Amino acid sequence: MCWLRAVSLISVIFLACTNGGQPSYKSQPIQRKPEYKCIESNLQYDCVFYDVHIDMQTRNVRFGFEDDTLNNQKNITFKNSTMRKLPAALLASFRQVELLDLNGLQIEEIDTYAFAYAHTIQKLSMSNNNLERIEDDTFQATTALQNLQLSSNRLTHVDLSLIPSLFHVNVSYNLLSTLAIPIAVEELDASHNRINAVRGPVNVELTILKMQHNNLTDTAWLLNYPRLIEVNLSNNELEKITYHHFVSMQRLERLYVSNNRLVVLNLYRPIPTLKVLDLSHNHLMWVEHNQAQFDKLQYLYLDHNSIVTLKLSTSHTLKNLTLSHNDWDCNSLRALFINVARPAVDDADQYCKIDYHLEHGLCCKESDKPYLDRLLQYIAMTSVVEKQRKKESCSAINAIHSVQSLVHFIKQQGVVPLQGNAQLEAEVNELRAEVQKLANEQIQQQQLLERLQAEIDTNLRRYHLPKDELARPSDSLNKLFTHLRERHLHELGKSQVLMKKADDKLKDQMDVMEQNIDLRLERIAKLRKQYALRQETMLKRQVVNQLLTQLGNHRPS
C-alpha cells in the first residue's frame, strides 16, 4: 500500500508543475473581449473600421490601441458593420474626432455616455438607422457639434434646442410630432415627419427651413425666424397664409405652400424680397387683392386651384406663371393676357368642362357676373348633393365643410344681393337651417367620441395597458379588446385547470368510496359466514346433547 501512496503524491506534484504551480484537473477556456483597431484609411477618412458587429448584449468592447496616443484620428467611418447599440468605448478611445460617420449601422440605442468625451466632434451622421428616441442629455458634452444628420430613422423625440452649437441639421423622414429649433441653426430639414407644433427661441441665423410633408395647421411660429430666405411648407394642412406672420421677414425669397388646404391668401402688403411663390394644388378662389405681391414676383405657381379672376399690372416682373386647372372667367383672362406675354405662362389646359371653352390655352366660362355665377352654380351643385343625400347616406362632416367653404367665399366677395330672387332666398335659408342641423349633429357626435375616448383611456389605465399618444382611438380600442380577449382566455384556461383538478379529486373520492363499499360488502359476507358457522355449531351442539342424553338413558342402572 505504501507504493500506491507514493505514486499518487508524484502525480499531484507533476500536475502542479504543469499548471503554474496550482493543481488543476480541468482547463478553463479564455474569453476574449471584442477589440477593433483602426488600420485602414482613405482620402476622406483617416480611420475606417471594417466588419464591426455589436449587438445589444455585447459587453466590454474596445476600440483602438491600448496606447491612446495612437488613437489620434479625426475622421472615422465604418464599412460592412452593424452596431445595434452605440457604445461609450468608441469616443472614449478616440477623443480627437471631428467627423464621425455612423450611417446605416442599424443603431437602435445610444449608450448613456456614448458622447461624454466628444468635445471635439463637429459633424455627426447617424442617418438610416433604427433610432426611436434620443434622450435630452445625450449631446450635453458635444459643445463643438455643428452638423447633425439624423434622417431616415424612427425618431419620435429629439430636442434639438438643447444643442445650441448646431448650424446644419437634418431630421427628415422620422416620426417627430414636435420640432424644437436650436438658437443658432442656419439650415434645418425636418420634412416628412408628423410635426404639428414648432417651438424654440428667436433665431436670427436660420435661413433655410424645409417643413414639407408634415401636419402643420398654422404659420404663427414663423415670427421667431425673421432672417429666413427659403421656407418650404408644402404638403401640410394649412388653410390660410396671412401677411402678419411674415411681417418681420426682410430676406425671404422663396415660399412654397403647394398641396395644402389654402382658402385664404392675404399678402396685401408685399414681402419685398419674395421672388418665388408656389400656391399650386390648393382651394384658392379669390386672389385679386394680392396683386401688389404678385407684381413683384419672378415665379408664381397658381395651377390646380379654383381661381376665377386675376389681375397683374403692366410693370409686373414675372418670368414664369402657371394658371391651368382653375375656374377662370373669360373676360378676366382676356384682360390678363394684355399685360402678360404668352411665353411667361408655362402651362395650359387640354380638356374643358361643359359650358367652358379654351381661351389662350386655358379653360374659362363666359359670364357677366362671374362670382355670382359661381355662387349659383355652387348652390345648384349643393342642392343636387342634398337630394342625393336623401337617397343615400353621406358624411355630415363633409357636408358641413362644403357649406362652410361656400360661406367663406360669400364673405370674401362681400354681400351678394338676393332680394330679387325669392326662390334663391328660400334655398339659401334652407341651406342655413340644414347647416345648423348638421353642425349640431357634428357637436353631438364629437361629444360622444370624446366620451368613448375617455372610457377607452379609463379602461387602459384600469388594466395597466400603455397608451400610445400617436395611436388612433380605434387602435387603442383594439388593443383593449385584444387584452380582454387574452385575459378571458387566460381565466378560462385557469378555470379549466381548476375544473380538471376538481374532477380528478372527485374521481379519487369515488374510487375511495367504491373501495369502502367493497370492503363493507366483504365484511358483511364474512359476518354472514360467521353467523352461518355459529348456527351450524349450535345445531351440532344440540345433536351432541341429544346423543348424550340418549346415551345416558341407555346406561345400565
CB 324 within 8 A of CB 303: yes
Query: What is the model's pLDDT at position 32?
Result: 62
The pLDDT confidence band at residue 343, using thresholds 50, 70 and 90, is low
Q: Which CB contacts under 8 angstroms, 24+ apart, belong to 432-440?
A: 434/386, 434/399, 434/403, 435/400, 435/403, 435/404, 435/407, 438/396, 438/399, 438/400, 438/403, 439/400
Residue 304 in this model has a pLDDT that exceeds 90? yes
Which pairing describes strands 320-322 and 299-301: parallel, antiparallel, or unpaired? parallel
Q: In what order do the strands lie in the sheet with 328-329?
A: 328-329, 362-365, 357-359
Mean local confidence (pLDDT), 470-493 = 78
Q: What backbone torsions phi and psi does residue 9 show, to the nearest 5 degrees?
A: -65, -40
83-to-107, 132, 423 alpha-carbon distances in Å: 5, 15, 74
Q: How confident is the model over 369-388, as pLDDT tens digits?
A: 888 888 887 777 777 776 67
CB 300 within 8 A of CB 275: no
Instruction: For 160-311, list the strands marked E by DSSP.
Output: 168-170, 178-180, 187-189, 197-199, 208-210, 230-232, 240-242, 254-256, 264-266, 276-278, 299-301
The pLDDT confidence band at residue 395, using thresholds 50, 70 and 90, is low
Question: Which three three-digit cell numbers place residue 99?
Answer: 467627423
Instruction: Compute the Cα dihedral for 387, 390, 394, 396 and give only its sign.
Output: positive
- CA distance linking residue 529 with residue 532, whole number of Å: 5
Terminal Cα-to-Cα distance of the chain (whole angstroms): 99
- CA distance linking residue 407 with residue 411, whole number of Å: 6
Residue whose cell numbers read 353467523: 531
Question: Which three three-digit cell numbers place residue 244?
Answer: 402678419
The predicted model scores a pTM of 0.66
Number of alpha carbons in the 13 Å side-chain half-sphere of residue 101: 14
Domain boundaries defined on the chain = 35-373, 448-537
- CA distance linking residue 503 with residue 509, whole number of Å: 10
What is the longest distance spanned by two Cα atoms in the chain?
A: 180
295-to-278, 299, 357 alpha-carbon distances in Å: 14, 10, 27
Burial of 102 (0-12, 13-18, 19+ CB in 10 A): buried
Q: Pick the range with the lowest mean pLDDT from 100-104, 302-306, 434-438.
A: 434-438
Q: For residue 410, how many other CB atoms are within 10 A of its CB?
A: 15
Query: What is the model's pLDDT at position 6?
Result: 40
Question: Which three three-digit cell numbers place residue 22?
Answer: 496550482
> How many Å is the Cα radius of gyration of the chain?
45
Angle made by CA atoms 366, 372, 374, in degrees to the nearest 5: 65
High-pLDDT (> 70) share of the chain, % = 85
Q: What is the CATH number of domain 35-373?
A: 3.80.10.10
336-to-248, 342, 413 alpha-carbon distances in Å: 32, 10, 20
Question: Which three three-digit cell numbers place residue 173?
Answer: 423622414
- Per the model's pLDDT, the better-predicted residue between 454 and 46 turns out to be 46
- CA distance linking residue 383 with residue 379, whole number of Å: 6
Question: Which three three-digit cell numbers place residue 298?
Answer: 419672378
Q: Say which residues have a Cβ less than 8 Å from residue 50's Cβ, sequence separation at least 6.
A: 40, 78, 79, 80, 81
Angle made by CA atoms 486, 487, 493, in degrees to the nearest 5: 90
Using left for φ > 0, alpha for ψ between -120 and 50, and beta otherwise, residue 192 falls in: left
Q: How confident is the model over 400-447, as pLDDT tens digits?
A: 566 556 555 555 544 444 444 555 566 667 777 777 888 888 888 888
The pLDDT confidence band at residue 228, using thresholds 50, 70 and 90, is very high
- Per the model's pLDDT, the better-predicted residue between 14 and 501 turns out to be 501
